[in-house]
Amino acid sequence: MDALNATFGNKICFSLCLFGLCLLVASSTMSLAEPKTHKHEFVIQATPVKRLCKSRNSITVNGQFPGPTLEVNNGDTLVVKVTNRAQYNITIHWHGIRQMRTGWADGPEFVTQCPIRPGGSYTYRFTIQGQEGTLWWHAHSSWLRATVYGALIIHPKQGDSYPFTKPKRETTLLLGEWWNANPINVLRQATKTGGAPNVSDAYTINGQPGDLYNCSSKDTVIVPIDSGETNLLRVINAALNQPLFFSVANHKLTVVSADASYTKPFTTTVLMLGPGQTTDVLITGDQPPARYYLAARAYFSAQNAAFDNTTTTAILEYKSAPCSPNCKKGHTTKPIMPQLPAFNDTNTASAFTKSFRSPRKVEVPTEIDENLFFTIGLGLNKCPKNFGSQRCQGPNGTRFTASMNNVSFVLPNNNSILQAYQQNIPGVFTTDFPANPPQKFGYTGNVSRSLWQPMSGTRGYKLKYGSRVQVVLQDTSIVTPENHPIHLHGYDFYILAEGFGNFNAKTDTKKFNLVDPPLRNTVAVPANGWAVIRFVADNPGAWMMHCHLDVHIHWGLAMVFLVDNGVGALQSINPPPADLPLLLTRIYRCLLGARQNYPMKLFWLCKTHNSITVNGQYPGPTLEVNNGDTLVVKVTNKARYNVTIHWHGIRQMRTGWADGPEFVTQCPIRPGGSYTYRFTIQGQEGTLWWHAHSSWLRATVYGALIIHPKQGDSYPFTKPKRETAILLGEWWDANPIDVVRQATRTGAAPNVSDAYTINGQPGDLYNCSSKDTVIVPIDVGETNLLRVINAALNQPLFFSVANHKLTVVSADASYTKPFTTTVLMLGPGQTTDVLITGDQPPARYYLAASAYFSAQNGAFDNTTTTAILEYKSAPCNPNCKNGPTVKPIMPQLPAFNDTNTASAFTRSFRSPRKVEVPTEIDENLFFTVGLGLNNCPNNFRARRCQGPNGTRFTASMNNVSFVLPNNNSILQAYQQNIPGVFTADFPANPPLTFDYTGNVSRSLWQPTPGTRGYKLKYGSRVQIVVQDTSIVTPENHPIHLHGYDFYILAEGFGNFNAQKDTKKFNLVDPPMRNTVAVPANGWAVIRFVADNPGAWLMHCHLDVHITWGLAMVFLVDNGIGALQSIEPPPVDLPLC
């Protein structure tokens, strides 16, 4: 105590006895030294780092591991420009900085900002206000903070001093964790399996494991000291997942600060820091000159779990410590090792955390406005039905999760919570986080298994500005009790008390320290215990509260406080910075502007007529995004027809309102109206497309939608030299709307198209079309990617390139096992990506497409569209001014009715590896598909019944001819329980079993019309046999399912036989598609899991057939919680 009094006595007396004078002196000092602005640049990059005998590329800042130490004074401003040259998205969090009114600079990914994408940058700008001591900064994206972190030292204001004797020197000690593997891969593997992640391979001090590990002695950190001097150690636990004990052999440590708040000094021989916490200690050179280990090892409170049980060291080295005779080879004396507590010594950990006090009496909020009780802990999710055992490697075949108040937090991926909160953007979060656990139970006892599975959601809790908040944090014994370091962004808080067992409001409130409780930003909640904190909500914004064990935040142990603005500018958050990272939503909105549908004069086949286009382009704009991006497209209708846009093949997870089919998921956009489609690409890569989904407008309203891999990821094949989208289409000299109206009026088949097109051009085999024939460049030796899309309205097409082989690598935005072919067959709606190599003599070669027509005795467009594959060095006329004159070489396309070639092609598809096909089936469905004929109604004249033998064409699934509603959308009626729009009685099987592909009785040719859906429970495993029929004529039907991909298990000809044909099922590597070409007079079997709630259309993608009724709707129920439920409808959803 004498030493303590000598060190602190005068300062404390001055502060207590002359506090008013102390404030006056501080005020006058401020005027003598102006605050500074410190500017830094952080470059995020991959850097080779060698540890534990191995070298690997690690993500670092400026090539340093750990990153740069930033030193500022209280009152200074920090400006840090972060440039991302790594392969991962990133953000930086300034741990413990209050960020008063500057929440945009706080850093947690998707909470206060969208991430900085590879190649992007963002400048963090904030002022230090009233904070002194040791904080730190770190990445707040995935597990990047394993190597992306550094110290942030805040000295007193210029002219002020520490409230203790100035140390001779200061040393920062960053405790960390090291994996020999890439930490991102460690996390991804755990996410995939549902099990706990692999533990670290070492702990580190300032990035070095220390000489107890292999290959680590040489770089062990040396901390100098001299006899008699007192130094300051700034200890930071930057470990990813592990609370740590820390000690220095034979030396006492005097704690003077924690989390950048001064403390009442106390002496200890061991520290315990949870991840995120900092502790400043004074150490005096009062031992015999020698070398002493500083050591850290795990404090591990969980039960029956793996952890890293190694010890990291640095060396406290006295200047006069003895060494070898000539000292040239350095010290040979082994350092002295401290006695660290046992890994499970909770008593020592608790005694240490209970020792903290503020240095003087503080103003603790006493009248409480928000009295909150948060349970925290782990949980186990049951294995989803569509997951195999390899994805459920938690205890007893489950998946680990974690929660607060039974809510497992899910980060948004389409915007930041703060931006959505400030700008009133719907669909990003909800404000219904519970103030108390939904059910009271014995939190630290034997908890019922029924409480082990939490609800998922992005749920926040709203606080009024200035509200006084108390939070009881209660650990639970679900799975295992554990010490949780709970960190609150944007705030410091007082820790009033902590204890073990269940918090008891009657007895434990008597233990509250309302005089001098410690001020922290991270509280270590005891294993099987509780802690109580208080703060005043004086900082508006969105502030994350979470466990600082990164595995726990990944599992969902987090929530967000949403603090309202107060009165006036000084109680309101600043506007967002101009360079705030945004998802590609904003970029695309800016690049594309308003997407407008308006008539445009087009000259094709020697004729001009007005066509409906997007932005005056035919085909429409190609959209290019990355997996994980969000698209926001505002559609303004300046045409004379109603319109909707469908994003063909996009899964639309929980965003069914953006799917687009008219009167199914939305009412149409009327002339003069607009609607904004907003959705996120989730787990899809490859080629998709968009098109109108109203009447026959998609004849000209369509375009490509290219999904590249995530930034930093690559294709699973050699990167092509160039990529070209090939959109196959159909062209009518007449208005396509008039064509379908004429057919509807007469009851007959519509007139066939006048040409096929490639990227909107018929090609030089048609009249008046040579000049604009599409040229596809290639050079000798290069391999290019062709993205082929069949956007034709009614016609499956063969496609080939003269003399060149095509290697199929993807279809419908799903990678395939590569195979080589000379011809593709695509049904309308399908896409196929192929690699083509310039391995032929330099020349000009036709790319050509012609009809695959499987119906009998029907008319079809029997022409051929072409483009030209042109080698750069292809020969031309002598002066080349008029371009090449050599006629391109034509490929050998199959005959129009070559079903064998079509079938051989579709059967060649496989997934690139073994996949998890649903095996236990909940819904075993059998759908017949085909045409039909309606008898001529009594009130119709002959000219309205021009189908075969005076009938009218129709089509159906399971003898139900689908009729679109016209008074509301099915989705809106389904979600809002509006009667009279649809029924939910679509049959699971055809109402009558018959010889589907034989000679079908005429009594079965007339289906029943109706708007009938089939209900599916969320998570149900569905199998559908899709069976063609020979009614009127057999035909190849491209059946498209909205909102889902599915596995195609098998296809065949004739009637499906459940006993024999199930043996043909590919349950190992079936292809994943969104559109299946059901063979003419045959069948196909598909499977999927109903994990996307909403109303999802399933229909033939021959538009004449959907017009006739070959469609149905699946009605998928919401599951449990927000993440298994469809989002609320957008505010601008068109009304009928």
The residue whose two tokens read 């965003």 is 655
Q: Which residue has the tokens 């018929």?
A: 762
Provide the pairing of β-strand 723-731 with 783-790. parallel
Q: Decide which of 694, 714, 734 is a domain's last residue.
A: 714
Statement to judge: residues 779 and 636 lie in one domain: no
Q: Is the per-residue pLDDT at 16 higher than 50? A: no
pLDDT in tens, 69-101: 999 999 999 999 999 999 999 999 999 999 999
Give the pLDDT score at 26.
31
Domain count, the chain: 7
Q: Tell me: do 227 and 332 sit in the same domain.
A: yes
State the chain's maximal CA–CA distance in angstroms.
118
User: What is the reported pLDDT for 1077?
Assistant: 98
Residue with tokens 């005998």, as numbered in its chain: 53
Residue 19 lies in a domain: yes
Asked if residue 606 is part of any domain, the answer here is: yes
Residues 930 and 824 in one domain: no
**Rounded CA separation 189/192 (Å):** 5
Are 941 and 978 in a shared domain? yes
The Cα–Cα gap between 413 and 1003 comes to 53
Please check whether residue 930 lies inside any domain of the structure: yes
Contact 814, 829 (CB under 8 A): no
Q: How many CB atoms lie within 10 A of CB 976?
A: 10
Q: Which residues, at least 6 apart from 538, have a Cβ–Cβ distance to it below 8 Å?
A: 465, 466, 566, 571
What is the C-alpha separation between 681 and 578, in angstroms, rounded? 26
Any domain includes 365: no
Mean pLDDT of the chain: 92
C-alpha pair distances (Å), 1004 with each of 599, 750, 935, 992, 1031: 43, 23, 12, 9, 8
Amino acid at 590: C
Tens digit of each residue's pLDDT (9 = 90 or more) over 434-489: 999 999 999 999 998 888 999 999 999 999 999 999 999 999 999 999 999 999 99
pLDDT exceeds cutoff 90 at 27: no
Residue 327: what pLDDT?
Answer: 52
Dist. CA 719–CA 785, nearest whole Å: 9
- Does some domain include residue 399? yes
**Of 355 and 1004, more confident:** 355
Q: How far is CA 873 from CA 777, 778, 842, 867, 888, in A?
A: 10, 9, 6, 18, 14
Q: Which domain holds residue 19?
A: 1-30
Of 106, 136, 163, which residue constitutes the final position of a domain?
A: 163
Distance in angstroms (rounded) separating the CA atoms of residues 808 and 1071: 12
Which helix (H) or strand (E) element contains residue 590?
A: helix 584-592
Please check whether residue 46 lies inside any domain of the structure. yes
Instruction: Kindly state whether residues 761 and 875 are assigned to the same domain.
Output: yes
Whether 293 and 319 map to the same domain: the answer is yes
Q: Do 392 and 386 meet the contact criterion of CB atoms below 8 Å apart?
A: no
Which tens digit of pLDDT belongs to each residue from 759-770? 999 999 999 888
DSSP state of 835: E
- Three-class SS state of 246: strand
Whole-model pTM?
A: 0.66
Cα-based distances in Å from 64 to 201, 674, 746, 794 = 20, 51, 76, 60
pLDDT, residue 584, reads 46
Q: Around Cβ 1129, how many Cβ atoms within 10 Å?
A: 18
Confidence grade of residue 40 (pLDDT, cut at 50, 70, 90):
very high
Q: Helix H segments across 139-252?
A: 183-193
Q: What is the DSSP letter of 384?
A: P
Domain end call among 136, 163, 190: 163
Cα–Cα distance for residue pair 488/486, rounded to 1 Å: 7
Specify whether 12 is located in the same domain as 43.
no
Six-digit token string for 45: 């990059």
Contact at 8 Å (CB) between 748 and 953?
yes
pLDDT greater than 80 at residue 822: yes
243 and 143 in one domain? Answer: no
- The confidence score (pLDDT) of residue 333 equals 80
Give the C-alpha separation, 362 to 284, whole Å: 30
547: β partners: 486
Contacts for 821 with CB less than 8 Å, ≥ 6 apart: 805, 806, 808, 905, 908
Pairing of strands 595-604, 607-614: antiparallel
Which two structure tokens, joined as six digits, stand for 527? 């294993």
* 24, 42: one domain: no
Q: How confident is the model at residue 33 (pLDDT cuts 50, 70, 90)?
A: low
Alpha helices in 168-324 (DSSP H): 183-193
Q: Determine contact, residues 930/1035, Cβ cutoff 8 Å.
A: yes
1135: helix, strand or coil: coil
Question: Tell me: the pLDDT tens digits for 591-637?
Answer: 222 334 445 556 667 888 889 999 999 999 999 999 999 999 999 99
Q: How far apart are the first and last CA of the chain?
A: 81
Note whether 597 and 689 are same-domain residues: yes
Query: 1132 lies in a domain?
Result: no
Looking up tokens 């009785």 gives: 1001
Percentage with pLDDT > 70 across the chain: 93
What does the block give as tokens for 537? 């909500």
Task: Report which secondary-structure segment, H or E, holds 784.
Answer: strand 783-790
Give the torsion through C-alpha atoms of 849, 850, 852, 855, to 10 deg.
Answer: 150
- What is the mean predicted confidence (pLDDT) over 701-716? 93
Residue 341, token pair as written in the block: 């507590």
Q: According to the model, what pLDDT value does residue 341 have?
A: 97
Between CA 754 and CA 863 the distance in angstroms is 8
CATH code assigned at 202: 2.60.40.420
Q: How large is the average pLDDT for residues 244-258?
A: 98
Give the C-alpha separation, 749 to 999, whole Å: 22
Same domain assignment for residues 814 and 880: yes
pLDDT value for 1103: 96
Same domain, 341 and 383: no
Amino acid 524: pLDDT? 98
pLDDT score of 876 more than 70? no
Predicted confidence (pLDDT) per residue in 829-869, tens digit: 999 999 999 999 999 999 999 999 999 988 999 999 999 99
Q: Specify if 213 maps to a domain.
A: yes
pLDDT, mean of residues 525-535? 97
Token couple for 12: 């404390």
